[in-house]
Amino acid sequence: MDRLIINGGKQLKGTISVSGSKNATLPIAVAAAILADSSSVIHNVPNLNDIDSLCAVLEVLGATTKLENSTLYIEPGDRSAYEAPYDLVRKMRASIYVLGPLVARLGIAKVSFPGGCAIGPRPVDLHLKGLQQLGAEVEIDSGYIIARANRLVGAEMYLRGPHGSSVGATANVMMAATLADGTTTIRGAACEPEVADLANFLNAMGADIGGVGTSTLTIHGVKQLHGTEYTVIPDRIEAGTFMVAGAVTKGEVFVKGAPAEHLGATSEKLIEAGVQLDWADDGVRVRTPRDFQAVHIATDTYPGFPTDMQAQMMGLLSITPGISTITEGIYLDRFMHASELNRMGADIRVEGNHAVVRGKLRLSGAPVMASDLRAGAVLVLAGMAAAGETVVSRIYHIDRGYENIEQKLAGIGADIIRVSD
Protein backbone atom coordinates (compact mmCIF):
# COMPACT_ATOMS: atom_id res chain seq x y z
CA MET A 1 0.00 0.00 0.00
CA ASP A 2 1.13 3.58 -0.65
CA ARG A 3 2.27 5.94 2.07
CA LEU A 4 2.99 9.67 2.17
CA ILE A 5 6.25 10.82 3.76
CA ILE A 6 6.16 14.44 4.89
CA ASN A 7 8.90 16.58 6.40
CA GLY A 8 7.19 19.42 8.19
CA GLY A 9 8.06 23.03 8.90
CA LYS A 10 7.98 24.35 5.34
CA GLN A 11 5.86 27.45 4.78
CA LEU A 12 3.63 26.84 1.75
CA LYS A 13 3.84 29.59 -0.83
CA GLY A 14 2.31 29.86 -4.30
CA THR A 15 -0.85 28.95 -6.17
CA ILE A 16 -2.69 25.65 -5.77
CA SER A 17 -5.64 24.77 -8.01
CA VAL A 18 -8.96 23.25 -6.98
CA SER A 19 -10.41 20.34 -8.95
CA GLY A 20 -14.06 19.64 -9.71
CA SER A 21 -16.40 18.52 -6.95
CA LYS A 22 -16.35 14.80 -6.16
CA ASN A 23 -19.71 14.96 -4.40
CA ALA A 24 -21.39 16.74 -7.31
CA THR A 25 -19.83 14.48 -9.96
CA LEU A 26 -21.03 11.23 -8.34
CA PRO A 27 -24.81 11.79 -8.59
CA ILE A 28 -24.46 13.66 -11.91
CA ALA A 29 -22.70 10.65 -13.43
CA VAL A 30 -25.50 8.38 -12.21
CA ALA A 31 -28.16 10.62 -13.72
CA ALA A 32 -26.31 10.74 -17.04
CA ALA A 33 -25.87 6.96 -17.17
CA ILE A 34 -29.34 5.85 -16.07
CA LEU A 35 -31.92 8.63 -16.53
CA ALA A 36 -30.85 9.99 -19.94
CA ASP A 37 -31.73 8.40 -23.30
CA SER A 38 -28.63 9.85 -25.00
CA SER A 39 -24.99 10.53 -24.17
CA SER A 40 -23.53 13.25 -21.94
CA VAL A 41 -20.20 15.08 -21.70
CA ILE A 42 -19.28 16.26 -18.20
CA HIS A 43 -16.35 18.67 -17.70
CA ASN A 44 -14.22 19.51 -14.62
CA VAL A 45 -14.44 15.94 -13.30
CA PRO A 46 -11.71 15.08 -10.77
CA ASN A 47 -9.54 12.03 -11.41
CA LEU A 48 -10.33 10.13 -8.19
CA ASN A 49 -10.70 6.53 -7.07
CA ASP A 50 -14.31 7.21 -6.04
CA ILE A 51 -15.14 8.32 -9.59
CA ASP A 52 -13.50 5.17 -10.98
CA SER A 53 -15.41 3.00 -8.50
CA LEU A 54 -18.74 4.56 -9.41
CA CYS A 55 -18.04 4.22 -13.13
CA ALA A 56 -17.41 0.51 -12.55
CA VAL A 57 -20.92 0.26 -11.09
CA LEU A 58 -22.40 2.22 -14.00
CA GLU A 59 -20.63 -0.10 -16.47
CA VAL A 60 -22.16 -3.13 -14.74
CA LEU A 61 -25.51 -1.41 -15.29
CA GLY A 62 -24.77 -1.22 -19.02
CA ALA A 63 -23.41 2.30 -19.42
CA THR A 64 -20.15 3.15 -21.16
CA THR A 65 -17.91 5.65 -19.38
CA LYS A 66 -14.56 7.26 -20.26
CA LEU A 67 -12.68 9.86 -18.19
CA GLU A 68 -10.11 11.79 -20.25
CA ASN A 69 -8.40 15.04 -19.19
CA SER A 70 -11.05 15.83 -16.57
CA THR A 71 -13.92 15.20 -19.02
CA LEU A 72 -16.25 12.27 -18.37
CA TYR A 73 -18.02 10.84 -21.43
CA ILE A 74 -21.08 8.78 -20.56
CA GLU A 75 -23.19 6.65 -22.93
CA PRO A 76 -26.30 5.22 -21.25
CA GLY A 77 -26.79 1.46 -21.38
CA ASP A 78 -29.49 -0.65 -23.00
CA ARG A 79 -31.50 -0.61 -19.77
CA SER A 80 -31.40 -4.33 -19.20
CA ALA A 81 -29.30 -4.45 -16.01
CA TYR A 82 -30.69 -3.26 -12.69
CA GLU A 83 -28.41 -4.81 -10.03
CA ALA A 84 -25.54 -3.03 -8.23
CA PRO A 85 -23.52 -5.87 -6.70
CA TYR A 86 -22.12 -6.09 -3.18
CA ASP A 87 -18.46 -6.28 -4.18
CA LEU A 88 -18.72 -2.92 -5.94
CA VAL A 89 -21.15 -1.14 -3.59
CA ARG A 90 -19.03 -1.96 -0.53
CA LYS A 91 -16.22 0.07 -2.12
CA MET A 92 -18.46 2.93 -3.13
CA ARG A 93 -21.23 3.94 -0.72
CA ALA A 94 -22.53 6.51 -3.18
CA SER A 95 -23.64 3.59 -5.41
CA ILE A 96 -26.89 3.92 -3.48
CA TYR A 97 -27.57 6.82 -5.86
CA VAL A 98 -28.50 4.30 -8.59
CA LEU A 99 -31.54 3.10 -6.61
CA GLY A 100 -33.96 5.93 -7.44
CA PRO A 101 -32.94 6.36 -11.09
CA LEU A 102 -33.18 2.60 -11.78
CA VAL A 103 -36.68 2.38 -10.29
CA ALA A 104 -37.76 5.48 -12.23
CA ARG A 105 -36.30 4.24 -15.52
CA LEU A 106 -36.75 0.43 -15.35
CA GLY A 107 -39.34 -0.07 -12.62
CA ILE A 108 -36.91 -2.21 -10.64
CA ALA A 109 -33.61 -1.86 -8.77
CA LYS A 110 -31.49 -4.26 -6.73
CA VAL A 111 -28.71 -2.53 -4.79
CA SER A 112 -26.53 -4.01 -2.10
CA PHE A 113 -27.31 -2.42 1.24
CA PRO A 114 -24.40 0.00 1.82
CA GLY A 115 -22.36 -0.67 4.93
CA GLY A 116 -21.14 1.81 7.48
CA CYS A 117 -17.67 3.34 7.46
CA ALA A 118 -15.15 4.91 9.83
CA ILE A 119 -17.31 7.98 10.38
CA GLY A 120 -20.15 5.89 11.73
CA PRO A 121 -23.37 4.19 10.64
CA ARG A 122 -24.61 5.43 7.30
CA PRO A 123 -28.35 4.68 7.29
CA VAL A 124 -30.42 4.96 4.11
CA ASP A 125 -33.88 4.99 5.69
CA LEU A 126 -34.65 8.43 4.25
CA HIS A 127 -33.73 7.25 0.75
CA LEU A 128 -36.16 4.34 1.09
CA LYS A 129 -38.89 6.43 2.73
CA GLY A 130 -38.77 8.97 -0.10
CA LEU A 131 -38.95 6.31 -2.82
CA GLN A 132 -41.82 4.57 -1.03
CA GLN A 133 -43.69 7.88 -0.94
CA LEU A 134 -43.27 7.99 -4.72
CA GLY A 135 -44.99 4.60 -4.86
CA ALA A 136 -42.04 2.20 -4.91
CA GLU A 137 -42.31 -1.08 -3.04
CA VAL A 138 -39.10 -1.71 -1.11
CA GLU A 139 -37.87 -4.89 0.53
CA ILE A 140 -34.55 -5.95 2.05
CA ASP A 141 -33.46 -9.43 1.11
CA SER A 142 -30.08 -11.11 1.74
CA GLY A 143 -28.27 -7.80 2.15
CA TYR A 144 -29.87 -6.23 -0.91
CA ILE A 145 -32.41 -3.45 -1.27
CA ILE A 146 -34.98 -4.42 -3.90
CA ALA A 147 -37.27 -1.62 -5.07
CA ARG A 148 -40.08 -1.98 -7.60
CA ALA A 149 -42.66 0.35 -9.16
CA ASN A 150 -44.69 0.09 -12.37
CA ARG A 151 -44.84 3.85 -12.40
CA LEU A 152 -43.64 6.37 -9.82
CA VAL A 153 -46.22 8.99 -8.85
CA GLY A 154 -45.31 12.47 -7.61
CA ALA A 155 -45.93 13.15 -3.91
CA GLU A 156 -45.45 15.71 -1.15
CA MET A 157 -42.84 14.66 1.39
CA TYR A 158 -40.68 15.85 4.28
CA LEU A 159 -37.20 14.37 4.06
CA ARG A 160 -35.28 15.29 7.22
CA GLY A 161 -33.87 12.81 9.70
CA PRO A 162 -32.53 13.08 13.28
CA HIS A 163 -29.45 14.98 12.01
CA GLY A 164 -31.30 17.26 9.64
CA SER A 165 -31.47 17.06 5.87
CA SER A 166 -29.80 14.31 3.87
CA VAL A 167 -27.65 15.01 0.79
CA GLY A 168 -27.94 11.45 -0.50
CA ALA A 169 -31.64 10.98 0.13
CA THR A 170 -32.46 14.34 -1.47
CA ALA A 171 -30.39 13.44 -4.54
CA ASN A 172 -31.85 9.95 -4.85
CA VAL A 173 -35.49 11.00 -4.51
CA MET A 174 -35.06 14.11 -6.69
CA MET A 175 -33.58 12.00 -9.49
CA ALA A 176 -36.42 9.48 -9.25
CA ALA A 177 -39.07 12.21 -9.18
CA THR A 178 -37.88 13.70 -12.50
CA LEU A 179 -39.59 10.80 -14.36
CA ALA A 180 -42.56 10.32 -12.01
CA ASP A 181 -46.15 11.07 -13.03
CA GLY A 182 -47.12 14.44 -11.61
CA THR A 183 -45.44 16.79 -9.19
CA THR A 184 -43.21 15.99 -6.21
CA THR A 185 -42.49 18.45 -3.42
CA ILE A 186 -39.55 17.65 -1.16
CA ARG A 187 -39.57 19.72 2.02
CA GLY A 188 -36.52 19.63 4.27
CA ALA A 189 -34.36 18.98 1.21
CA ALA A 190 -30.56 19.28 1.52
CA CYS A 191 -29.28 22.66 0.26
CA GLU A 192 -25.65 21.63 -0.27
CA PRO A 193 -24.14 23.12 -3.48
CA GLU A 194 -23.60 19.58 -4.79
CA VAL A 195 -27.36 18.94 -4.63
CA ALA A 196 -28.01 22.21 -6.46
CA ASP A 197 -25.42 21.24 -9.10
CA LEU A 198 -27.20 17.92 -9.63
CA ALA A 199 -30.55 19.74 -9.97
CA ASN A 200 -29.02 22.12 -12.52
CA PHE A 201 -27.64 19.14 -14.46
CA LEU A 202 -31.05 17.40 -14.39
CA ASN A 203 -32.73 20.58 -15.66
CA ALA A 204 -30.13 20.73 -18.44
CA MET A 205 -31.25 17.18 -19.31
CA GLY A 206 -34.84 18.41 -19.65
CA ALA A 207 -36.10 17.92 -16.10
CA ASP A 208 -38.36 20.51 -14.50
CA ILE A 209 -37.05 21.25 -10.97
CA GLY A 210 -37.85 24.42 -9.04
CA GLY A 211 -36.46 25.71 -5.73
CA VAL A 212 -32.90 24.69 -6.65
CA GLY A 213 -30.55 25.43 -3.74
CA THR A 214 -33.41 25.77 -1.25
CA SER A 215 -34.89 23.34 1.27
CA THR A 216 -38.11 22.99 -0.77
CA LEU A 217 -37.71 21.33 -4.15
CA THR A 218 -40.61 21.07 -6.63
CA ILE A 219 -40.15 18.49 -9.37
CA HIS A 220 -42.67 18.28 -12.22
CA GLY A 221 -42.25 14.82 -13.77
CA VAL A 222 -41.41 14.60 -17.48
CA LYS A 223 -41.61 11.72 -19.95
CA GLN A 224 -37.92 11.50 -20.79
CA LEU A 225 -34.52 13.10 -20.25
CA HIS A 226 -31.78 13.61 -22.84
CA GLY A 227 -28.01 13.72 -22.43
CA THR A 228 -26.28 17.09 -22.19
CA GLU A 229 -22.90 18.83 -21.84
CA TYR A 230 -22.14 20.24 -18.39
CA THR A 231 -19.36 21.59 -16.19
CA VAL A 232 -19.24 20.50 -12.53
CA ILE A 233 -18.75 23.06 -9.73
CA PRO A 234 -15.38 23.30 -7.93
CA ASP A 235 -14.80 21.11 -4.88
CA ARG A 236 -15.44 23.39 -1.88
CA ILE A 237 -14.03 20.83 0.56
CA GLU A 238 -10.78 20.39 -1.35
CA ALA A 239 -10.57 24.20 -1.52
CA GLY A 240 -11.18 24.50 2.23
CA THR A 241 -8.55 21.84 2.88
CA PHE A 242 -5.96 23.86 0.91
CA MET A 243 -6.98 27.04 2.75
CA VAL A 244 -6.20 25.29 6.03
CA ALA A 245 -2.91 24.02 4.54
CA GLY A 246 -1.82 27.62 3.95
CA ALA A 247 -2.86 28.54 7.48
CA VAL A 248 -1.25 25.68 9.42
CA THR A 249 2.11 26.20 7.66
CA LYS A 250 1.86 29.98 8.21
CA GLY A 251 2.53 30.42 4.51
CA GLU A 252 0.95 32.53 1.79
CA VAL A 253 -1.16 30.46 -0.57
CA PHE A 254 -3.55 31.38 -3.38
CA VAL A 255 -6.26 28.72 -3.69
CA LYS A 256 -7.23 29.07 -7.35
CA GLY A 257 -10.82 28.21 -8.17
CA ALA A 258 -12.03 28.25 -4.55
CA PRO A 259 -15.80 28.94 -4.73
CA ALA A 260 -16.41 31.89 -2.33
CA GLU A 261 -20.17 31.44 -2.55
CA HIS A 262 -19.89 27.87 -1.17
CA LEU A 263 -17.34 28.58 1.58
CA GLY A 264 -19.16 31.11 3.76
CA ALA A 265 -19.12 29.20 7.03
CA THR A 266 -15.60 27.87 6.48
CA SER A 267 -14.26 31.35 5.68
CA GLU A 268 -16.01 32.86 8.68
CA LYS A 269 -14.43 30.34 11.08
CA LEU A 270 -10.96 30.68 9.55
CA ILE A 271 -11.15 34.48 9.89
CA GLU A 272 -12.39 34.14 13.49
CA ALA A 273 -9.38 31.88 14.14
CA GLY A 274 -7.05 34.65 12.94
CA VAL A 275 -6.46 33.65 9.32
CA GLN A 276 -6.44 36.49 6.75
CA LEU A 277 -8.49 35.70 3.64
CA ASP A 278 -8.47 38.00 0.62
CA TRP A 279 -11.06 36.84 -1.95
CA ALA A 280 -10.55 37.55 -5.64
CA ASP A 281 -12.72 36.59 -8.64
CA ASP A 282 -10.73 33.41 -9.24
CA GLY A 283 -9.87 32.28 -5.75
CA VAL A 284 -8.67 33.29 -2.31
CA ARG A 285 -5.30 34.35 -0.85
CA VAL A 286 -4.58 32.86 2.57
CA ARG A 287 -2.18 34.53 5.02
CA THR A 288 -1.56 34.32 8.76
CA PRO A 289 -0.35 37.75 9.86
CA ARG A 290 -1.27 37.24 13.50
CA ASP A 291 -1.48 34.52 16.16
CA PHE A 292 -4.34 32.08 15.86
CA GLN A 293 -7.35 32.47 18.19
CA ALA A 294 -9.29 29.62 19.80
CA VAL A 295 -12.77 29.12 18.30
CA HIS A 296 -15.86 27.01 18.89
CA ILE A 297 -17.14 25.00 15.92
CA ALA A 298 -20.42 23.13 15.51
CA THR A 299 -20.90 21.26 12.25
CA ASP A 300 -24.29 21.54 10.57
CA THR A 301 -26.03 21.01 7.26
CA TYR A 302 -25.45 23.64 4.58
CA PRO A 303 -25.01 26.59 4.86
CA GLY A 304 -23.68 25.71 8.31
CA PHE A 305 -20.08 24.67 8.99
CA PRO A 306 -19.49 21.53 6.89
CA THR A 307 -18.80 18.23 8.64
CA ASP A 308 -16.34 17.48 5.82
CA MET A 309 -14.17 20.38 7.07
CA GLN A 310 -14.29 19.34 10.75
CA ALA A 311 -11.13 17.23 10.73
CA GLN A 312 -9.13 19.85 8.85
CA MET A 313 -10.13 22.55 11.33
CA MET A 314 -9.20 20.27 14.23
CA GLY A 315 -5.71 20.21 12.75
CA LEU A 316 -5.52 24.00 12.79
CA LEU A 317 -6.95 24.24 16.31
CA SER A 318 -4.34 21.70 17.52
CA ILE A 319 -1.72 24.46 17.10
CA THR A 320 -3.98 27.35 18.17
CA PRO A 321 -3.28 28.77 21.64
CA GLY A 322 -6.09 28.29 24.15
CA ILE A 323 -9.04 25.92 24.37
CA SER A 324 -11.18 25.34 21.27
CA THR A 325 -14.23 23.09 21.03
CA ILE A 326 -15.77 21.14 18.18
CA THR A 327 -19.29 19.70 18.21
CA GLU A 328 -19.99 17.21 15.43
CA GLY A 329 -23.68 17.54 14.65
CA ILE A 330 -23.89 15.32 11.57
CA TYR A 331 -21.87 12.13 12.26
CA LEU A 332 -21.74 11.67 16.01
CA ASP A 333 -18.46 9.72 16.10
CA ARG A 334 -16.48 11.41 13.35
CA PHE A 335 -13.42 11.93 15.53
CA MET A 336 -11.14 9.02 14.57
CA HIS A 337 -8.52 11.57 13.52
CA ALA A 338 -8.26 12.99 17.07
CA SER A 339 -6.28 10.01 18.38
CA GLU A 340 -3.90 10.16 15.41
CA LEU A 341 -3.35 13.89 15.98
CA ASN A 342 -2.67 13.14 19.65
CA ARG A 343 0.09 10.77 18.47
CA MET A 344 1.64 13.88 16.95
CA GLY A 345 1.55 15.70 20.28
CA ALA A 346 -1.88 17.32 20.05
CA ASP A 347 -4.00 17.55 23.18
CA ILE A 348 -7.54 16.62 22.15
CA ARG A 349 -10.14 15.11 24.41
CA VAL A 350 -13.24 13.54 22.86
CA GLU A 351 -16.47 13.05 24.80
CA GLY A 352 -19.26 11.70 22.57
CA ASN A 353 -19.75 14.14 19.71
CA HIS A 354 -17.76 16.88 21.43
CA ALA A 355 -14.01 17.46 21.22
CA VAL A 356 -12.00 19.84 23.37
CA VAL A 357 -8.73 20.93 21.76
CA ARG A 358 -6.00 22.49 23.90
CA GLY A 359 -3.66 24.11 21.41
CA LYS A 360 0.04 23.27 21.46
CA LEU A 361 2.92 25.37 20.23
CA ARG A 362 3.99 22.72 17.75
CA LEU A 363 3.17 19.16 16.74
CA SER A 364 5.86 16.54 16.20
CA GLY A 365 6.00 14.21 13.21
CA ALA A 366 5.04 10.58 13.75
CA PRO A 367 3.82 7.48 11.86
CA VAL A 368 0.01 7.84 11.60
CA MET A 369 -2.85 6.10 9.82
CA ALA A 370 -5.71 7.51 7.77
CA SER A 371 -9.11 6.12 8.79
CA ASP A 372 -11.31 7.98 6.31
CA LEU A 373 -11.04 10.58 3.59
CA ARG A 374 -10.98 13.77 5.65
CA ALA A 375 -9.14 12.19 8.60
CA GLY A 376 -6.40 11.34 6.11
CA ALA A 377 -6.37 14.90 4.84
CA VAL A 378 -5.86 16.39 8.30
CA LEU A 379 -2.91 14.06 8.94
CA VAL A 380 -1.24 15.49 5.82
CA LEU A 381 -1.95 19.03 7.03
CA ALA A 382 -0.60 18.24 10.50
CA GLY A 383 2.47 16.58 9.01
CA MET A 384 3.27 19.73 7.02
CA ALA A 385 2.93 21.86 10.17
CA ALA A 386 4.81 19.50 12.51
CA ALA A 387 8.51 19.36 13.28
CA GLY A 388 10.16 16.29 11.82
CA GLU A 389 8.93 13.43 9.66
CA THR A 390 5.37 12.15 9.42
CA VAL A 391 4.47 8.96 7.57
CA VAL A 392 0.78 8.65 6.67
CA SER A 393 -0.35 5.11 5.83
CA ARG A 394 -3.64 3.81 4.31
CA ILE A 395 -3.65 6.81 1.98
CA TYR A 396 -6.09 5.04 -0.34
CA HIS A 397 -8.64 6.86 1.81
CA ILE A 398 -7.15 10.17 0.71
CA ASP A 399 -6.96 9.16 -2.95
CA ARG A 400 -10.73 8.63 -2.90
CA GLY A 401 -11.31 12.38 -2.65
CA TYR A 402 -8.12 14.32 -3.41
CA GLU A 403 -6.65 14.44 -6.90
CA ASN A 404 -2.82 14.23 -6.95
CA ILE A 405 -2.61 15.62 -3.43
CA GLU A 406 1.14 15.26 -3.03
CA GLN A 407 1.90 16.85 -6.41
CA LYS A 408 -0.40 19.77 -5.68
CA LEU A 409 1.11 20.39 -2.23
CA ALA A 410 4.71 19.86 -3.37
CA GLY A 411 3.98 22.46 -6.05
CA ILE A 412 3.64 25.10 -3.32
CA GLY A 413 6.67 24.02 -1.30
CA ALA A 414 5.60 21.04 0.80
CA ASP A 415 8.24 18.38 1.39
CA ILE A 416 5.98 15.42 0.62
CA ILE A 417 6.53 12.24 -1.41
CA ARG A 418 4.47 9.12 -2.08
CA VAL A 419 6.16 5.76 -1.56
CA SER A 420 4.71 2.39 -2.52
CA ASP A 421 5.38 -0.69 -0.39
From 5, 117, 260, 298, the catalytic residue: 117
The edge-to-edge listing of strands for the beta sheet with 389-393 is: 367-369, 389-393, 2-7, 415-420
Residues that bind ligand EPZ (CB under 6 A): 23, 26, 94, 122-127, 161-163, 166-169, 190, 192, 194, 307-308, 330-331, 373-374, 401
Q: How many CB atoms lie within 10 A of CB 373?
A: 23
The residue count for the chain: 421
Nearer to ligand EPZ, 235 or 406 (CB): 235
CB of 381 to ligand EPZ, least distance (A): 15
DSSP letter, residue 209 = E
CB of 282 to ligand EPZ, least distance (A): 24
CB of 132 to ligand EPZ, least distance (A): 12
Nearer to ligand EPZ, 94 or 379 (CB): 94
Nearer to ligand EPZ, 6 or 171 (CB): 171
Beta-bridge partner residues of 216: 187
Report the sign of the C-alpha dihedral through residues 276, 271, 339, 377, in that order.
negative
CB of 160 to ligand EPZ, least distance (A): 9
CB of 123 to ligand EPZ, least distance (A): 4
Nearer to ligand EPZ, 20 or 401 (CB): 401
Contact 319, 362 (CB under 8 A): yes
Nearer to ligand EPZ, 162 or 289 (CB): 162
Is residue 117 part of the annotated active site? The answer reads yes
d(CA 213, CA 334): 26
User: What angle (nearest 5°) sits at the alpha carbon of residue 336, between those of residues 334 and 342?
Assistant: 130
Q: Is 65 exposed, middle or buried (CB count within 10 Å of its CB: 0-12, 13-18, 19+)?
A: buried
State which residue has the least CB distance to ligand EPZ: 168
Contact 148, 176 (CB under 8 A): no
d(CA 18, CA 310): 19
Residues assigned a catalytic role: 117
